[in-house]
Amino acid sequence: MKYEIDKVLLSREQIASRVRELGRAVAKDLEAKLHADGDDPDRHADRVVMLPVMTGAFVFTADLVREMPLKLSIRLVAVESDPGTATESKGAKLRGAMPKDLDGRHVVIIDDIHDSGRTLKLIQEICEEQGAASVTSCVLLDKQVEKAVDAPADYAGFEIPDEFVVGYGLDYDGYFRNLPEIVTLKEVGRSPDSRLLRILVALALPVLTYRLIQLFDRVACAAELFERQPLGDPSVLFTHK
């Protein structure tokens, strides 16, 4: 199955403007937390950890942190979906090790898209188990679908409908990550002749099935009559209706 770009859902200008707003909002809240702890935001870079989920969030993270006038560190975490189709998520599990030094730190999980909620829930629980001072989440896209678990994002760039999207780090089978916009895809590569053939097959299948059932009934009936006749008198097979 092949896909190509269908329509632009979010332009590069829309994304840049919103990411700028998100970066400033997240930085402002982190500074407030550090001041509440009695720390100087300019001297305690080790207290703030940005935790992007690879690989989809790498473009978003690069732009987001450059809008944050705050000392911080960046650690990476890899999460993979349980087996499903290429266009949907069935679950989440870690792929590789989580950072082990999150105790007492303010952690911001960064993800490209929030759909089932399983990825955020998984990472939040691990950060809390390590004793993080705070755990918040920032997602670029919040898909308007029913969440599988209760794990709302603290910051969300855009709400989007239930469509499969790519671009700006999001991919389909490893492709389209480099697009500067966020776009939807459409299926291509099936000619009108192939679609017509599928329609004809679908229409003919019930008729063929009915004919096969009739044939099997006649064979079974003939076999039963043959068993009842004396050997050497197969004429009934040709006269029975």
Let me know how long the chain is. 241
Question: Is residue 80 within 8 Å of 4, Cβ to Cβ?
Answer: no
**Catalytic, out of 115, 171, 173, 217:** 115
CA 11 – CA 38 distance, rounded (Å): 41
**Partners of 115 in the beta sheet?**
none
d(CA 142, CA 110): 12
Q: Are 206 and 20 in contact (CB under 8 A)?
A: no
SS3 category, 138: strand
The answer to whether 48 touches 31, Cβ cutoff 8 Å, is no
Known catalytic membership, residue 193:
no
Catalytic residues: 115
